[in-house]
Every structure is written in C-alpha cells, then in structure tokens.
C-alpha cells in the first residue's frame, strides 16, 4: 500500500493521548470552521474575529501557563496545536502566537500578581486581545537600538516613540510595549498600554501581499501617560523581550510544519489526479522527486521539533537550539511551498488551492521573529564562541 498522510516516521507513536487529543481537536476546528473562510479573508485582507471565542475554547491562548484559566498543556501539545493552526494559515497561528508567547507570557513572567490576575484569565478566554511592540522602523534585527523612550514623571511614565509591523496592533485591547528608560539596553522595560490611552494610536499597514488574513499595524506614542503600575516590574534589559521572542520562535518552528504539510498534501493529491501524456504526473520521476523531498524535510522538521519540545518540557532547551529549528523549518517550509507550486503548474498561483497563500505567508515568517540570517549567526556564535553580528567581524 502507498503511504497516505504525512506522518511518515510515525511521530504519533511518540505522543501521549493528551498530546494527540490537543492536536486532533485543533485539526477539526481548522478543517471545519477556519478553512471554509480563509480564502475570502485572504482576498479581503481581514482576520475572522468571529472565530476568536472558538479558538479560546480550544485552550490555545496561554496554553502552557498553569492557572489563570489557562490550559496548562505541555510544550509538545502546544507545538502540535500551532502546527494545525498554521496548516490553516500563518495568520491564524500568528494571532495565537502573539496572544500567548508575546503578551500573556511576559505578563506571566515579568508582571505583578495583580497584572496576572487581571489580564491572563481575560486573554485566555479571548475576551481581551494583545499585541507586542518591540520592532521599530529602523530597528528590526537590532532591537536594542530602539528609540522609544519611557520617562518617569511623578506617578506616571511618559511614553514617546513608535513601533512597526505589529501583529494584532489595531485590534488589541492591550499592548506590551518595550521602551528604554535610560540610554543603555539594560534600561529596557516592558509596559502595558491599554487601547484608548491618550497619546496612543494604532494604524493598519495596508498593501501587504503576505499575511493578508492578519492585522498588521504601526503603533505611535506621543506623550502617552501611563500609571506607574503599568510597568512590568521584573523586566530588566533586552533579555526580557528576547525571552518572549524565544517562546514565539519555538512555536513558529512547529507551526510552519503545518503549512508545509498542507502544501505537500495538496501537491500529492493534485499529482495523482492530473493526467499529462496519458498518465498521472505522480508517476513521473521528477514529480516524485519533488514529493519525496517535501515529505523527507517535513519528517526531519517534525523530529527536530519533537526533540526540542521534550527538552523544553524538561527545562533544558537553549535559545540557539530554537534558532536552529526556526531557521531550518521555515526555510524548508518555504521551499516545500515552492516545490508544490511547481507541481501544480499554472494552478499553483490560483487561490483555489492553498499553496500560493502559504508561499506568500512564509516569506514573512522567514523574516519575522528573527530573520533567517540572524538565526544563522546565533547558531554560529554558539558553536564557535565568536560573535559575527557586527560589520567587519
């Protein structure tokens, strides 16, 4: 019998019943509720906000946090959930990743108990949406150079600056914003900025050809006055936002497997049905070579993520290992999307099929949460002890 599906190495055998259940429940949601809507939302450049309560019911938001109405999943189960969300669309996984890894996580790790009690249950239930403000127009890969400043004025912080390429920005009820309180990177702190705060505006970035079913915004702060308790008190220096990014990068490494798998499944089904020169093109050597390459790299990505997930659950995972997974898995997911597009020929550019949508989305995923090249340098520094980040190094 020919193999059907994409668990070629029987990863399922290594999963617990709870992990499979989390994945399968999310898979049904994506197939039944999300996929019928995604093409229209991608065309219009909108996110299906009406599904947020259902996503929350899956336990996706803050999934690995224990308490505060969160699901308390292990990291492998959470990774599998994100895999299924991105099988639907990178915008769906991005929505969940920002809410969980970039907003709920810093509140949980760096916030006060009062901040946790207020925000985390509301966000877990999807009643409040968050965004993460770190990147600036001139400081993408070098966030430590940020110009956004927070100055203490009596019982208030005064925030001035701007943030760019912020997922969920204009629809968020609260933004976790990172700003310098002095001149050095060590002075960076996180602040909770609620929607409607005077001096805070969020405007959508239009004209995107990627992540169209995702809200992307610019945040601006002009004399934005925050109460003194708006700061995340345990956040000290650039390491704090980078720790949040590490959480998100772990999730991305899992998520893109889903996008790649959707492209592979589409290409395989198409190749078995598409007849040229009197035979299904799946019987041609060059097409089989493409399909085998796709499935091989999906399998390798699965094995890498599974191992890192187990390490993360044992509190043994290091950031360079996450960088390796993000770098490898995103790069190969994008290549798999391109190979699938080749298999589909002219049909590969039509949104009747998901391939071109995944390809366009993955161009952004290749860049955000640390570009491919930055993750190369992170791993390179780890294995050589030499820092190649600076010009002329």
CB 63 within 8 A of CB 80: no
DSSP state of 173: S
Distance, in Å, from the CA atom of 252 to the CA atom of 258, rounded to the nearest integer, reads 10
H helix or E strand, kind and range, residue 176: strand 174-180
What lies within 8 Å, CB to CB, of 236 at 6+ separation is 186, 188, 189
Distance, in Å, from the CA atom of 35 to the CA atom of 26, rounded to the nearest integer, reads 12
Q: CA 351 from chain center: how many Å?
A: 22
Q: How many CB atoms lie within 10 A of CB 283?
A: 13
Alpha-carbon distances of 142 from 99, 210, 238, 259, rounded to whole Å: 23, 23, 10, 28
What lies within 8 Å, CB to CB, of 48 at 6+ separation is 34, 37, 38, 41, 213
Neighbouring C-alpha atoms within 13 Å toward the C-beta of 379: 14
CB 276 within 8 A of CB 344: no
Alpha-carbon distances of 13 from 21, 85, 128, 257, 274, rounded to whole Å: 13, 22, 37, 18, 33
- Strand segments (E) across 36-155: 130-133, 149-153
Q: What residues are labeled active site?
A: 369
Distance, in Å, from the CA atom of 204 to the CA atom of 144, rounded to the nearest integer, reads 24
H helix or E strand, kind and range, residue 202: strand 200-204
CB 146 within 8 A of CB 154: no
DSSP state of 206: P
CB 176 within 8 A of CB 240: no
- Tokens 């999943």, located at residue: 73
CB 8 within 8 A of CB 299: yes
Residues in the chain: 393
């Amino acid at each position: 019998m020919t193999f059907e599906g994409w668990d070629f190495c029987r990863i399922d055998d290594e999963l617990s019943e709870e992990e499979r259940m989390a994945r399968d429940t999310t898979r049904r949601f994506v197939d039944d509720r999300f996929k019928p809507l995604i093409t229209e939302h991608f065309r219009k450049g909108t996110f299906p906000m009406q599904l947020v309560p259902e996503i929350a019911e899956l336990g996706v938001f803050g999934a690995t946090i224990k308490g505060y109405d969160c699901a308390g999943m292990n990291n492998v189960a959470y990774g599998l959930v994100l895999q299924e969300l991105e099988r639907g669309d990178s915008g769906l996984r991005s929505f969940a990743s920002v809410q969980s890894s970039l907003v709920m996580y810093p509140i949980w790790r760096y916030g006060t108990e009062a901040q946790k009690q207020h925000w985390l249950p509301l966000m877990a239930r999807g009643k409040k949406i968050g965004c993460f403000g770190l990147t600036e127009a001139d400081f993408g890969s070098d966030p430590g150079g940020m110009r956004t400043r927070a100055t203490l004025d009596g019982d208030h912080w005064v925030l001035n600056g701007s943030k760019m390429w912020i997922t969920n920005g204009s629809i968020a009820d609260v933004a976790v914003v990172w700003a310098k309180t002095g001149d050095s990177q060590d002075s960076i702190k996180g602040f909770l900025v609620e929607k409607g705060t005077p001096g805070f505006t969020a405007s959508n970035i239009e004209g995107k050809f990627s992540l169209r079913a995702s809200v992307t915004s610019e945040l601006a702060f002009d004399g934005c006055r925050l109460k003194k308790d708006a700061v995340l008190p345990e956040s000290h220096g650039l390491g704090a936002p980078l720790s949040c990014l590490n959480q998100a990068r772990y999730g991305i490494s899992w998520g893109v497997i889903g996008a790649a798998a959707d492209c592979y499944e589409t290409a395989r089904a198409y190749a078995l049905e598409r007849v040229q020169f009197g035979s299904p093109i799946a019987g041609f050597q060059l097409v089989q070579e493409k399909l085998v390459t796709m499935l091989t790299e999906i399998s390798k990505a699965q094995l890498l993520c599974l191992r890192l997930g187990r390490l993360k659950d044992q509190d043994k995972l290091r950031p360079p290992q996450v960088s390796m997974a993000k770098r490898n898995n995103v790069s190969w997911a994008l290549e798999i999307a391109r190979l699938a597009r080749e298999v589909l020929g002219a049909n590969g550019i039509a949104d009747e099929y998901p391939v071109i949508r995944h390809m366009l989305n993955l161009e952004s995923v290749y860049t955000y949460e640390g570009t491919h090249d930055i993750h190369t340098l992170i791993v390179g520094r780890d294995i050589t002890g030499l820092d190649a980040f600076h010009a002329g190094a």
